[in-house]
Structure 1
Amino acid sequence: MITGQLRSKINELWEEFWTGGITNPLTVIEQISFLMFARLLDMRESTEEKKWSRKHKDKPFPGVYFPRDKQHLRWSQLKQEGNAEKVLEIIRDEVFPHFRKLGQLENAAASKGPMNTFDQYMKDATLMINKPSLLISAINMIDALPLTQGDTKGDLYEYLLSKLTTAGINGQFRTPRHIIDLMVDLVLEGNEDEALSWTVGDPACGTGGFLVQFMEALREHFTSPDGIHVDEETGGKTYTGDMIEPSHWKHIKSEMFHGFDFDVTMLRIAAMNMMLHEIDTPDINYQDTLSTNFTDRKETKRWAEDAFDLILANPPFKGSLDEEDVHKTLTGKVKTKKTELLFIVLMLRMLKLGGRCAVIVPDGVTFGSSKAHKELRKMLVEENQLEAVIKLPQGAFRPYAGVSTAILLFTKGGQTDNVFFFDVQADGKTLDDKREKIGADDDWQDLDVLRKAWPKWNGGAGKKHFKDRTVNAFFVPKSEIEENAFDLSINRYKEIVHKEEQYDSPKVILGRLKKLEAEIASDLEKLEAMLG
């Protein structure tokens, strides 16, 4: 979370786009991403130039991302150009076409720079800024942002993403940061050391929030409390005394994270989000993971089955798919067109044996009465280890959507003996469209209760602590779930304590009414006397 002067700078930048006629939040973030990429690329070029000058003092720098004849396209050159019309023309007609060709540059391809991921999403990129004055204002504001500060620049981009307040046409919407934090904490609990070598995926990654937060959680866990410093102005965290080995950092930054989505704009934003969080070469793929193409394509086939140690996701809920487009390995397990069911089957296929998943689903998945719903739940309970069902409050995803949701935690394979249920009634924010914070910054109400309860359950002492079904946290044995046709809705098992109300007798109530009527009649007589 950023505060103070930096927040004001972002708000000013946003306002510039708004008054300049660009009002779609997704378009604004996309255009800012392009300009940030231009600045980051110039910063990389400067680093390469310094390295070259130390080794080759007498030879001119040949350029890495910008060949010698393209040096005028660098951010440092453009921001010094005084003619706003010319800057617009250069960026539109030269910089964007150059971005599209980055992957073809021999020198750049051999480098480990961020363009290796981002350039593939630039092929259809268009500069939507048509006003020279708006472009110059945006350049000046972005040039003043602290993109050299690793932690702050990531928080900065998260704040930009928080301005996305509408759901996509396919039912995708941004997952609130505190919900992502909760899911990451639950899957990491007790597994922090082995998590350093995990392979983590999101088959519907959107802006990349789950992947980014998993890396941030690892970094925070492996830094001593004394080594975490919070900037008073920005709220950004700086880590010192890093305890993660270099070999693990190499895995984290280039091999751990893999995201997939079929929305190119989201992919651009996800790639930028991860690069700003210091994942230099994120594996973000343009792919509909439910389609036959995902399993059959050479580039993504290796990720389609038995590939991941962990999957974190909030897949699209809305609508149905053409059955012909869905891979047969999915519909062969659960015959349905509903995306929320197919994604869970997909995740089970993508996980390694013993791999874990935390996924957000609409409530209907937990209690739907169709054959497909029942088959899916039976598969989770009988063929895998269903660990937990966490009911979220209905307003958790406002203002994007008012849909009621739950989090499912499960492990591929294994055995379900008991399932942990938790009813989140208050997530620390108001449940209206404003979603304003309630209480202190570190007070997340039921989410903190869940964080404290989970280690007890996950540690094997569940039966001792969670027998009472009148409270938020309790467990249900597998046999009872089977008896209820694999219904996983929390209301099926939670016991409601009804408080007996005490009412006065009719005779007492009648006496009060008569006394009240007498008082009214007396007041009317006094009023009449005053009127003469």
Structure 2
Amino acid sequence: MITGEIKHKIDKIWTDIWAGGITQPLTVIEQLTYLMFIRSLDEKETENESLEALGVEVKNKIFPQTNEGQAMRWSKFKDKDAREIYEIIGQRVFPFIKSINSNKTSAFSRYMEDAMFLIPTPQVLQKIITGLDELYEHDIKDLDMQGDLYEYMLGKLSVAGQNGQFRTPKHIRDMMVKLLQPTPDDKVCDPACGTAGFLVSAAEYVRNKYESEMTTEQWEKFEGEAFSGFDTDRTMLRLSAMNLMLHSISNPQINYADSVSKENDVTDTYDVILANPPFTGTIDAESIHDNLKAITNTKKTELLFIALFIRMLNLGGRCACIVPDGVLFGTTKAHKSLREELVENQNLQAVISMPSGVFKPYAGVSTAILIFTKTNAGGTNKVWFYDMKFDGYSLDDKRNKLGTEGDIPDIINRFHNLENETDRKKTEQSFLVDKEEIENNGYDLSINRYKEIEYEKVEYEKPEVIMARLDELSLKLGNKMEELRGLLKNEF
């Protein structure tokens, strides 16, 4: 997470851009994103060169192997005169990154074609480059930088949070990926992809676990159709495309679409869905796809997206999604019908309750993770509940890392060994609940509905015993006071 010192430095860069005449926060974010991407391309090329030095063949270099091509690298131009930097980026580097992917139909090409370089002066550009370079080199090296920066900058938008638009912390994304365990043969989707964080985490998991055994066909799939995302914000789509390209996904299936509307007809397509959909939004009832209304007749996006996940999954497909607590116990007909669908017609496997501080400082909402498999024929027998108390970070606005992974390793281990949970009591941190009990409780999925609190009986001594002890203490105190008076007389 970003510390106070780093926030101060980002604010300084932001102020420099603001002073230069760019006062629209969204434009500031876009321009900083482009520069972050340009720097990241140079880092990626340096990694390629290190691999070559070790004898590993690198097929596709990022920059042309000419003097002009190498001059476009961040490390080559960052220390030059401000006017020369401005000319290199504006006239050469920026057009280069807009056409870096030769496939004109790719997501990157489609969402970069209308991108514009808007830094107003060489002096402002030089200040930004110096500030970003200092951040990367001294403060946030090796962190999940691009997403963390975007998350912090998003907080400066006046609309931030109104539609639940905040980025899922990387350690929570990674946990959800490890719970579902995607393989190289799976097609992974996030229908509300934002910065593509879930897709990046899934790609990292697949690469780390299967890299040495993946076939040529699997690698081709990995670079393209294995990862798909949808969003309605072109800025986020651009960021998603850049983020995925830097993780070796050269042609991700990133599309502009309102996922829950009639324009999205995707059905029975994906093997894995990972998502943190908008929480508080509502949309026009007429634009909602009819087959979503059949599951939950509502305008609330947090309910519609879960119905969407069911529709978009293949039979046997798995989903892990974050929902606000209201989804678990809401009393409206739409809430109940959605929960009944998960329990009765699909295989609901787990409800992991998270502490409300997980999304601070951007939001203080209480949330949970739902994990289910699409069957369209039921299959829910017992539902596993886990009460996460600690995720490895402080639960205040600072969200400082506290040196452990909290409950996360325990959650992953227990979920993959549910046969060992059978005898656990409802007074413990995790336990199983029979489907019939959930049904009898109106399909309420709140952990507090089933968790039992164990009260310990406190035995108090009889009043006369307590009074006798007080008398004894009073006598001892009187004796000590007399000793003290005697010492004071002798002293003076």
1:451 partner letter = I
Q: State yes or no: 1:116 paired with 2:101.
A: no
Identity %: 45
Cα distance, 1:365 vs. partner?
A: 0.8
Distance (whole Å) between structure 1 residues aligned to residue 190 and residue 435 of structure 2: 28
Q: State yes or no: 1:390 paired with 2:352.
A: yes
Q: State yes or no: 1:410 paired with 2:408.
A: no
Q: State yes or no: 1:133 paired with 2:138.
A: no
SS in 2 for 1:201: strand
Candidates 172, 175, 179, aligned match of 2:165: 172
Candidates 206, 222, 230, aligned match of 1:218: 206
Cα distance, 1:272 vs. partner?
A: 1.5
Candidates 282, 288, 292, aligned match of 1:326: 288
Q: State yes or no: 1:205 paired with 2:183.
A: no
SS in 2 for 1:294: coil
Write the deviation string for residues 6-37 of structure 1: whole angstroms up to 9, x where unpaired: xx9x8897365134145998765532321244
SS in 2 for 1:430: coil
SS in 1 for 2:358: coil
Cα distance, 1:72 vs. partner?
A: 12
Residues 48-127 of structure 1 aligned to structure 2 (within 5 Å): 79=77, 84-85=82-83, 88=86, 98=95, 102=99, 111-112=102-103, 116-127=106-117
Q: State yes or no: 1:437 paired with 2:401.
A: yes
Q: Would the aligned equivalents of 1:203 and 1:313 in 2 still touch at CA under 8 Å? A: yes
| Residue number in structure 2 paired with 1:473 | 430
Normalising by the residue count of structure 1, what TM-score does the alignment of the two structures yield?
Answer: 0.73
SS in 2 for 1:321: coil
Cα distance, 1:490 vs. partner?
A: 0.8
Q: Would the aligned equivalents of 2:381 and 2:435 in 1 still touch at CA under 8 Å? A: yes
Q: Would the aligned equivalents of 1:79 and 1:139 in 2 still touch at CA under 8 Å? A: no
1:184 partner letter = V
| Residue number in structure 2 paired with 1:58 | none
Candidates 267, 278, 291, aligned match of 2:248: 278
Write the deviation string for residues 156-188 of structure 1: whole angstroms up to 9, x where unpaired: 435534645734331111111111111111101
Change (3 A) 1:142 1:283: farther
Distance (whole Å) between structure 2 residues aligned to residue 449 and residue 475 of structure 1: 15
Change (3 A) 1:44 1:495: closer
1:430 partner letter = S
Distance (whole Å) between structure 2 residues aligned to residue 448 and residue 215 of structure 1: 20
Cα distance, 1:125 vs. partner?
A: 3.4
Distance (whole Å) between structure 1 residues aligned to residue 134 and residue 433 of structure 2: 55
Change (3 A) 1:496 1:273: same
Cα distance, 1:84 vs. partner?
A: 3.3
Distance (whole Å) between structure 1 residues aligned to residue 484 and residue 17 of structure 2: 64
Residues 238-277 of structure 1 aligned to structure 2 (within 5 Å): 242-277=212-247
Write the deviation string for residues 301-351 of structure 1: whole angstroms up to 9, x where unpaired: xxx111101100000101322212211221222111111100000111111
Q: Would the aligned equivalents of 1:330 and 1:345 in 2 still touch at CA under 8 Å? A: yes
Change (3 A) 1:213 1:112: same
Cα distance, 1:505 vs. partner?
A: 3.7
| Residue number in structure 2 paired with 1:185 | 178
1:282 partner letter = P
2:223 partner letter = K
Candidates 436, 439, 451, aligned match of 2:412: 451
SS in 2 for 1:20: helix
Distance (whole Å) between structure 1 residues aligned to residue 11 and residue 450 of structure 2: 49
Cα distance, 1:85 vs. partner?
A: 4.9
| Residue number in structure 2 paired with 1:32 | 32
| Residue number in structure 1 paired with 2:264 | 294
Write the deviation string for residues 63-114 of structure 1: whole angstroms up to 9, x where unpaired: x999xxx99995689938966357547856x569947974xxxxx77x359x
Change (3 A) 1:181 1:348: same
Q: CA RMSD in A?
A: 4.3
| Residue number in structure 1 paired with 2:53 | none
Cα distance, 1:155 vs. partner?
A: 4.4
| Residue number in structure 2 paired with 1:301 | none
Candidates 310, 313, 337, aligned match of 2:299: 337
2:437 partner letter = E
| Residue number in structure 1 paired with 2:326 | 364
| Residue number in structure 1 paired with 2:456 | 499
Distance (whole Å) between structure 2 residues aligned to residue 277 and residue 157 of structure 1: 12
Q: State yes or no: 1:484 paired with 2:474.
A: no
SS in 2 for 1:395: helix
Mind listing any 5+ residue stretches in structure 1 that lack a counterpart? 47-63, 103-107, 224-241, 296-303
Q: Would the aligned equivalents of 2:261 and 2:288 in 1 still touch at CA under 8 Å? A: yes
Distance (whole Å) between structure 2 residues aligned to residue 438 and residue 45 of structure 1: 34
Cα distance, 1:506 vs. partner?
A: 4.2
Q: Would the aligned equivalents of 2:107 and 2:252 in 1 still touch at CA under 8 Å? A: yes
SS in 2 for 1:259: strand
1:160 partner letter = L
Distance (whole Å) between structure 2 residues aligned to residue 164 and residue 510 of structure 1: 63
Distance (whole Å) between structure 2 residues aligned to residue 473 and residue 72 of structure 1: 56
